[in-house]
Amino acid sequence: MKRIVIALLATAGMAGAAVAQAMTPGVTASDQDVSGGSVMAESVTAPEKGWLVVHRTDAEMKPGPVVGHAPLNEGMNENVSAELTEDVASGDMLMLMVHSEAGGNEMGVFEYTLGAKEDGPIRVGGELVTATITAD
């Protein structure tokens, strides 16, 4: 009986690892009208609980100041809407980035400021997990 239980636990653990490996962090978003004060990502896959953070950016594609954020659950998140904290004009470029919940003082409170370690960006293979859009 013990061997069966161990085999089932081992199989379940391997299945969980396979699902985790198949879950590649990413953000899917399109250019959109943000005149309503929010920006939406169609889907966000997060490796852990965290944040979808909206940064200003430009042609150099470097993340700039934060202009919005929304909470994320671990795994697939669909239709994630982040309220904008500043006006964004038509033609402005926005970088939607996956950030962690780690390193902050309070769980569930977004604490990141540009360059800080609290609730900082998640990297996969050294690369930020982002999508860039243009406001219509």
High-pLDDT (> 70) share of the chain, %? 84
Residues 90-101: tens digit of each pLDDT: 999 999 999 999
CA distance 33 to 35: 6
CA distance 11 to 116: 40
Average confidence (pLDDT) over 39-55? 97
Q: What is the pLDDT of residue 10?
A: 39
Q: Which residues, listed in sequence order, are joined to residue 32 by a DSSP beta bridge?
A: 135
CA distance 42 to 34: 14
- CA 69 to chain CA centroid, Å, is 9
Q: What is the pLDDT of residue 6?
A: 36
Q: Which residue has the tokens 């852990």?
A: 48
Q: Which residue has the tokens 């604490």?
A: 111
> In the numeric block, which tokens belong to residue 94?
């926005």
Of 131, 134, 129, residue with least CA distance to 47: 129
Q: What is the pLDDT of residue 23?
A: 81
Question: What number does CATH give the domain 25-134?
Answer: 2.60.40
- Confidence (pTM): 0.83
Neighbours of 29 (CB within 10 A): 21
> In the numeric block, which tokens belong to residue 14?
């391997």
Residues 30-39: tens digit of each pLDDT: 999 999 999 9
